[in-house]
Structure formats: C-alpha cells, structure tokens
Amino acid sequence: MIITRQKPQEKIDEMVAPYGRVFIVGCGTCATGCGTGGEEQVKAMAQRLGSRAIGWAVVESPCDARINRRDLAARKGELEGADAVLCMACGAGAQAVAEYADKAIIPALDTLFIGKTERLGRYFERCRACADCILLETGGVCPTVRCSKGLINGPCGGQVKGKCEVGDYKNDCAWVLIFNSLKRQNRLDAFRKYRPPKDRSAKARPQELASR
Ligand code: SF4
Ligand code: SF4
C-alpha cells in the first residue's frame, strides 16, 4: 500500500486560501486504508472548507486514469466550475487527477512510502521500488529499505544484539533478520552469495512501463 499522511491543516488552509471554489477528490484504495483520504476524511475536509467546497468524490483508485474517467465523468460540471481540486490521495493519484481535471491541484496528503499495514495507523516501509528485487536471496527481507545503510552484501559492524546502530538501536538489523530467515529456511548458501551492485540505470527517471 502507498502510505500517506495528511499535511497539517494550517498548511492545507494556506494552499486553499486563494481559491473560492474547491472540488475534493479522495481515494477509495490506499488513502482509505490509511485513513487519510477515505469518505470520512473527505467529508471532514468538506466541512472544514465550508462553502468553498462545491463538491467531493471518493474515486476508487485515482492513480488509474481509466477509473478517473469512469468515476469523475458524472462530476464534470462541478469540476469545471471549480477553481482548484483538493486531492486526498498519494502523489500518483494527485497527478492523475490533475491531468484529468486540468485545474490547480492542492495536494492535501504527503506520500511517505510503500509499506506494510500492521493495523490502522501503524505502517512500516517495506519497498523502495528499486526495479531489481532480490527478496529471494534475502529471505524475504528487503535490505534496500530495512538496512539503514542499504547494504546488500551482509551487515556492517554496527549491529549489537540484533539491533542497528543507526537510530539508537531501536530497529532490528536487517542483515540479522535476513540471516535468521534464511537459516529457518535452510538456505544459508544465499547469505554467503556475493551480490554485485544494483543496476541503477534501471532507475532512470521518470520510469515508464508499456508492456503492450
Ligand atoms: S529489493 Fe526491496 S526495494 Fe527492491 S523491489 Fe524488492 S522489496 Fe522493493
Ligand atoms: S547494523 Fe545492520 S541494518 Fe544497521 S546499517 Fe549495519 S547492516 Fe544495516
């Protein structure tokens, strides 16, 4: 899931201030899961904006141009009458909505990371979309994200009792997790394997995938 956090309300108020008529778009998928852009939060935002809010919609997945066309077509009149669109979705969603509406876009959320949900309000970063996934070799634990130094060939000298020196020994050392996972799976040969540096050229930005 894409993990988002709402910007401070004062910051949102500041961004909204120049616009008299604002249409609000929420996200029915990740931002609903995060409790940052679901119906409840969108309604609360509409209430906060008062008469400025001329309408709102929670789009099933606003990062999908097809779903925007499907879910926002019936709201075209309201969107056209708006001076700006306030989007309660991740950055990808906000950009897709901006393209669809062709209006000033007010991003109400900050996009933090791709993460695992433990429960509502408790999320852990798990993937940085490196385009070169090595989870098979690392026991299902991502060293790019979970090792503070992003090491891909075993631990540094900074772990103490399985905890990482970065962040004052609060987080588990990724390479201890990797070792333990591979040991449980009887696959320690993967731990000893040398991994060449990742091919960063695969990360030329902006990335694009067009398989058909
Ligand atoms: S190695 Fe880590 S950052 Fe790269 S794709 Fe796999 S989980 Fe994501
Ligand atoms: S202690 Fe472990 S997680 Fe922390 S930087 Fe070193 S290898 Fe990475």
Tens of pLDDT, residue by residue over 153-187, are: 999 999 999 999 999 999 999 999 999 999 999 99
Distance 46 CA to ligand 1 centre (A): 37
For residue 82, tell me if it sits in a domain: yes
Same domain for 108 and 7?
yes
Mark out the alpha helices in the chain (DSSP H runs): 9-16, 30-33, 39-49, 65-72, 76-81, 91-101, 143-146, 174-184, 188-192
Same domain for 168 and 139?
yes
For residue 178, the ligand closest to its alpha carbon is 2
pLDDT grade for 203, boundaries at 50, 70 and 90: low
The 10s digit of each residue's pLDDT in 16-34 is 999 999 999 999 999 999 9
- In angstroms, what CA-CA distances link 190 with 74, 126, 137, 153? 54, 20, 5, 10
For residue 211, tell me if it sits in a domain: no
Ligand 1 contacts CB of residue 144 (under 6 A)? yes
Ligand 1 contacts CB of residue 134 (under 6 A)? yes
Same domain for 24 and 86?
yes
Same domain for 71 and 163?
no
pLDDT grade for 198, boundaries at 50, 70 and 90: confident
Q: In the chain, helix, strand, coil percent, each to 5?
A: 35, 20, 40
Kindly state the DSSP code that residue 206 receives in the 8-state scheme.
S
Alpha-carbon gap, residue 48 to 45, rounded angstroms: 5
Query: Which atom number of ligand 1 is nearest to the Cα of residue 134?
Result: 1
Alpha-carbon gap, residue 113 to 126, rounded angstroms: 8
Same domain for 88 and 134?
no
For residue 188, tell me if it sits in a domain: yes
Q: What is the dihedral of CA 178, 183, 188, 194, to 10 degrees?
A: 10
pLDDT at 202 over 70: no
For residue 162, the ligand closest to its alpha carbon is 2
Distance 47 CA to ligand 1 centre (A): 40
* One-letter amino acid for residue 26 of the chain: G
Cis ω on the peptide bond leading into residue 18 (within 30° of 0)?
no
Same domain for 102 and 194?
no
- CATH classification at residue 78: 3.40.50
Mutational pocket test of ligand 1: of 124, 125, 142, the residue with most ligand atoms within 8 Å of the beta carbon: 142
| Under 8 Å between Cβ of 88 and 26 | yes
Same domain for 82 and 164?
no
Q: Which residues line ligand 2 (CB under 6 A)?
A: 147-149, 151, 155-156, 158-159, 164-166, 173-175
Domain range for 146 is: 130-202
Same domain for 96 and 165?
no
Same domain for 83 and 138?
no
Name the residue with tokens 């040398």. 194
For residue 212, tell me if it sits in a domain: no
Atom 2 (ligand 2) nearest CA: 173
For residue 208, tell me if it sits in a domain: no
Going by C-beta distance under 8 Å and a sequence separation of 6 or more, which residues neighbour residue 80? none
0.85 cut: is pTM over it?
yes
Ligand 1 contacts CB of residue 114 (under 6 A)? no
Same domain for 26 and 103?
yes
Q: How many independent structural domains does the chain possess? A: 2
Same domain for 95 and 167?
no
